[in-house]
Structure 1
Amino acid sequence: MEQRHRHGYLYGTMVLAAGTVVVKLIGALFKIPLTNILGGVGMSYFNVAYELYYPLYALFVSGVPVAVSKLVSESMACGRARDARKLLRVAGAAFLAVGAAGSLLMFFGAGWFSARVQNPGSVWAVRMLSPALFFGCLMAALRGYWQGMQDMAPTAVSQIVEAVAKLAFGLALSYGVTVAGLRQFSLEGTVFGAPCASAQEAQIAVLPYAAAGAILGVTVSTLCGAVYMAARHRLGRGAITPEQWKASPPAAPSRALLKRLVAIAVPVCVASLITNLTSFIDLISVMNRLGHAITRHPGVIEGIYEGLIPGGVGREMLASYLYGCYSGLAVPVYNLVPSLTTTIGVSLLPAVSAAWAVRDRRALERNVASALRLASLIAMPAGLGICAMAGPVLRLLFFSKPMESAVISPALHLMGLSAIFVALSLPVNAILQAVGRADLPVKLLLAGGGLKLVLNFLLVAVPRLNIQAAPVGTLVCYAFVLFVSFGVLVNSTGVRIPVGPVFGKPFFAAVCCAVGAWATNGLLERVCGSQLAAVGGVSIGVVIYVFVVLLTKTVTKEDILMVPGGEKFAKLLEKRSLLG
């Protein structure tokens, strides 16, 4: 325990980041073949379920680990170990009931919701995902407790358990349902009881059930993650030492602890809900506005995507197909960037909460500056790299879906820029939550969500823009959120953040990285295949980035010393004058 605290929040960040990298690699092994199985239309069913699940997860679950983590870390910093242990029991009992209510709401509202977003084929996928809310609440309470103890390993391992289970069960169920449906068509001319006139029609008819099978695998994975966390907690020795327990005063009453949990969890849930509403806004507005554009000017949109629409996808399914390309191919690539900086916010929150509780200004300023520099070092090269390499990356990942990749690659260029603003806003919001300003992200995200909704409504319905305009609202929304929240953070806490070393140097290195990757890819495409050219471009971009980061002395000695085992590495870099 002392070792973890000595290294600071960055120890936890590295643990979570390592877990996230593993999870994302496993997720790619899941999402890429799944997209190749389901295609654009099937992925629209899959993603409709996810886009409903995320706001409900935000509303019912997301505040649980934040509230538990914040209060546990504060309790331990103030020597109230008994409060920390009791908080877990109170949170578990209260929020499991909340998760059950969310699951029931999602299951029984599936038909109504699928009809409202003009995607009735998604109803079974929505229902299959509903139990995940209940299992998610159990995991969230346990994750929050261990995060509050500044031990991120249980969270990281549970995420890997989830990812492996999703890969195994999701692909197996989706593929099995597809094979079963097409076998029935070959024998009886029907797909699960529905008559089909041709093989192409059967391929389309089986997609809602195949998507539901994949989603059921996701639900099973949340059950596996919950079982792991419960077993880990029961079998573990706990993070509170006997000395801390004896020195602690009696625990506060359950009602008082619950009141404190709710006071923190509710604004965090609302903020998270509004964050996820940006995706939900896309779901409810993009499909409808695409449908409006296709109804009024079908020839214009069909002309833009001539040769890029698969056989069997008629005019009535064109909106689902375009939305499936966007949500199934572009959004997963875009989400890679903020998913990495989320780990910074998760592990930063208890460290900042503890420093703020005891008014340790030096520790607060050190952690905030280091976290924002680390977020910049991750977000800027990844976002600009996606912007520069959108087409090659999509062709590399979704090699069996060249039409879908060609349709959505223009939108991904702009989404790379959006990813930078989203990724940087996450640790800023976590810091605001830790210092008692959880209300601000709620207000800013609500205003940003309104901007996004208006822009979607106006731009997506323009036939020449259609699905390519969907990222514009996200870019405007998160640029607004980041700049305003950062200004309030500086003013309300008084922390001094050197803009050049924290943001300027990483941005310069990221530009070099993106230009190098783009130029290398262009040169290699002339002599070898596009996939090898993409791999070469990304590799050279990474090498250039690391070289420029070291040459400009972007990383400081203090950053390195916060990493476990960083002393030797710091001496090596310092000897070569490569540290800021």
Structure 2
Amino acid sequence: MSSKSFLKGAAILAAAGIIVKIMGAFFRIPLGNMIGSEGMGYYQTSYPIYVALLTISTAGIPTAISKLVSEKNAVGDRYGAHRIFKVSFALLFIIGIVTSAILFFGSGMIVKFMKNEGARASMVAIAPALLFVPIMAAFRGYFQGLQDMVPTAISQIIEQFGRTVVGFLLAYYLLNKLNKGLEIAAAGASFGAAAGAITGTLMIILIYYMRRKKILKEIGLRPIQKQEPAGKILTRILYIAIPITIGAAILPIMNMIDATIVMRRLQAIGFSPDEANGLYGQLTGFAAPLINFPQMLTVGLAVSLVPAISEASQRRDMKTVRSTVQMGTRIAVLIGLPAAMGLVILAKPIMILLFPLKPESAIGAAGSLAILGIGVIFLSLVQTFTGILQGLGRPTVPVINLFIGSIFKILATYFLTGIPSLNVKGAAIGTVTAYAIAAILNFFAVKRLTKTKFSVTNFVIKPVIAVSAMSISVLFVYTRFVDVFGNKLTTVVAIGVGALIYGLMLLTTGGITKEDFEMIPGGRKMAKVLGMMGLLRK
């Protein structure tokens, strides 16, 4: 694959990923307003189990399919490439049946162990998704192996669209029209994942059949190589897929364990199952989704760092590697630090702004959001350092470091959630602990591998000065005007004023440069305008 086609493919998938994240993040806000913390507790209890099973069953196989198909395609063996697709399709179809059956029939036992039996309907509703996502994964791997990323991107967006629209509308209908209660409404939201998987699968099958004539013409040619038996193809797929799956499954499995610990520990200190479920819903359904918004910027940054670092590393141009590492890390700090402080300072106003229909749940979740907000800076650095390490050809390093962080997360969650005064906020502290440890370990790994020096002035002092000025202005605006204009308008204005002050302080202190802007999508145009105004240093 040429560098140009690789970058184009990466850009297509990155853009689709950002769109999917935006849709997913916004889905939870109206859903939370409708079903509240109790309903979100049921919904969020089923989700980690689903994601863990999905990751274990499919994480590495599309990559393996893509690799093997691309190898066959490189030597012109389209017949062999399509045969790999057919064998892998059969494998994934069987895996889908098994995992879907495990969740569907094992849901009762799982929710009893997790001590949240009200979540059973949600688990049953989401189980069919495990049948269709593996089918979709087979097609995605095949098309990606042919260097065609468009079908994957389209199916991802259609899948998420189906998930959000069907999930929300079904939950609304069940709750408000049929009066079925929160357990069933949450199940309706969970079924959105199955609906999304079905629509995404149908879309990618449609794309396949639209191109079927061309595909059949190519595979109808006489095989240019002796074809491998199906058993050998399966062995090769699993050889590639299993290590990838192990790495990808660490965080979902840890989240599944974490969900179980939180529910059991909350009930151990005296909360009823319904109260524990409500607190868990506040944490995972109200507070946690908000820390995903800053990620939309840092994910794009991490994606752009991989080819930039990789290309310079291949040329052994360590000067460029180090300058790119410095620039990427500084941007991560400049994005993550104000986002973190904003969530900490305005946790309660933001929650009330976003969840006006459930004020009690919103206020209850504010404490968890303030804690999770601190973790945004660490999460931004984790994503950025992961992109850097992947570009350096060390993709396992951030996986191992995140695993270490997750171990500390489980320990912290277990002990801190058992403290009555902290309760579910102990789990939030555990999450921040995991990201902090992973970020620190990744930092030292990057520093060791690249010998990069980080200026305290540029990486700490200037951003802290800017974010301090931002924080003071935000607090002043909010406390001064909230009684006059109310929470909604004052919160929006305070955020806008804070962003303006932060940007001006960065420009004044030289905390951000022209090169920094060029790392951000659309940054070149912004840099040009600011340069013409005399506000941007080179």
Q: TM-score range by the shorter chain?
A: 0.7 to 0.9
Q: 2:499 aligns with which of 542, 547, 550?
A: 542
1:146-161 mapped onto 2 (5 Å cutoff)? 154-161=151-158
The aligned residue for residue 521 of structure 1 is 478
Q: Is the 8 A contact 1:445 1:477 kept in 2?
A: yes
Partner of 1:211: 186
Matched-pair contact (CA < 8 Å) for 1:7–1:562 = no
- 1:48 matched residue in structure 2: 45
Distance between the aligned counterparts of 2:234 and 2:505, measured in 1? 50
Q: Residue 120 of structure 1 is aligned with which of 112, 117, 120?
A: 117
State how far apart, in whole Å, the 2-side matches of 1:216 and 1:432 are. Answer: 37
Q: Which residue does 1:330 correspond to in 2?
A: 287
Instruction: Kindly state the Cα deviation for residue 288 of structure 1 after the two structures are TM-superposed.
Output: 0.9
Change in CA separation of 1:567 and 1:286 when aligned onto 2, cut-off 3 Å: closer
Alignment TM-score, normalising by the size of structure 2 = 0.81
Specify which of 316, 335, 354 is matched with residue 361 of structure 1: 316
Show the counterpart of 1:390: 347
Pairwise CA distance, 1:373:
4.5
Indicate the SS of the match to 1:104.
helix
Alignment CA distance shift 1:121-1:516 (3 Å):
same
* Structure 2 CA distance for partners of 1:138 and 1:108, relative to 1, 3 Å: same
Which of 249, 255, 261 is equivalent to 1:279? 255
Cα shift at 1:49: 0.9
Aligned counterparts of 2:325 and 2:89: Cα–Cα separation in 1: 30
CA distance in 1, matches of 2:160, 2:236: 32
Structure 2 counterpart of 1:468, from 417, 425, 448:
425
Q: In the alignment, is the contact (CA less than 8 A) between 2:69 and 2:142 conserved in 1?
A: yes
Separation in 2 of the partners of 1:510 and 1:144?
43
Shift of 1:458: 1.4
Q: How does 1:62-211 map to 2 (within 5 A)?
A: 62-64=59-61, 92=89, 94-143=91-140, 154-179=151-176, 181-182=178-179, 206-211=181-186
Q: Give yes or no for contact 2:68–2:81 (8 Å, CA) kept in 1.
A: no
1:487 aligns with 2:444: yes
Among 543, 553, 560, which residue is 2:518 paired with?
Answer: 560
Return 5+ residue gaps in structure 2 as ranges: 216-223
1:531 CA displacement: 1.0
Paired position in structure 2 for 1:448: 405
Deviations 1:16-62 (A, max 9, x none): 66555544554455322322222221111111111211222222233
**Cα distance in 1, alignment partners of residues 68 and 14 from structure 2:** 23
Higher mean alpha-carbon deviation, 449-458 vs 249-258, is at: 249-258
Change (3 A) 1:447 1:359: same
Q: Secondary structure in 1 aligned to 2:424?
A: helix
Give yes or no for contact 2:55–2:252 (8 Å, CA) kept in 1.
yes
* Equivalent residue, structure 2, for 1:246: none
| Higher RCO (CA < 8 A, seq sep 6+) | 1
- Which residue number corresponds to residue 357 of structure 2? 400
**Do the aligned partners of 1:8 and 1:562 also contact (CA within 8 Å) in 2?**
no
Structure 1, unpaired ranges of 5+: 183-190, 192-205, 241-248, 296-314
Instruction: Give the direction of change, closer, same or farther, for the CA distance of 1:165–1:503 in structure 2 (3 Å limit).
Output: farther
Number of matched residues?
A: 524
Query: Superposition RMSD on alpha carbons, in Å?
Result: 4.2
Deviates more, 1:522-531 or 1:396-405: 522-531
Distance 1:252 1:512 in 2: 67
AA of the residue aligned to 2:315? D
Among candidates 411, 414, 417, match of residue 374 of structure 2: 417
| TM superposition shift of 1:99 | 3.6
1:368-409 CA-to-partner distances (Å, cap 9, x unmatched) read: 555545544443332232122211111011001111111121
Contact 1:46 1:122 in 2 (8 A): yes
CA contact (8 A) 1:278 1:474 kept: no
Question: 8 Å contact 1:391–1:409 — kept in the other structure?
Answer: yes
In the alignment, what sits opposite 1:306?
none
TM-score when normalising by structure 1: 0.76
2:148 and 2:455 map into 1 onto residues whose CA distance is 30
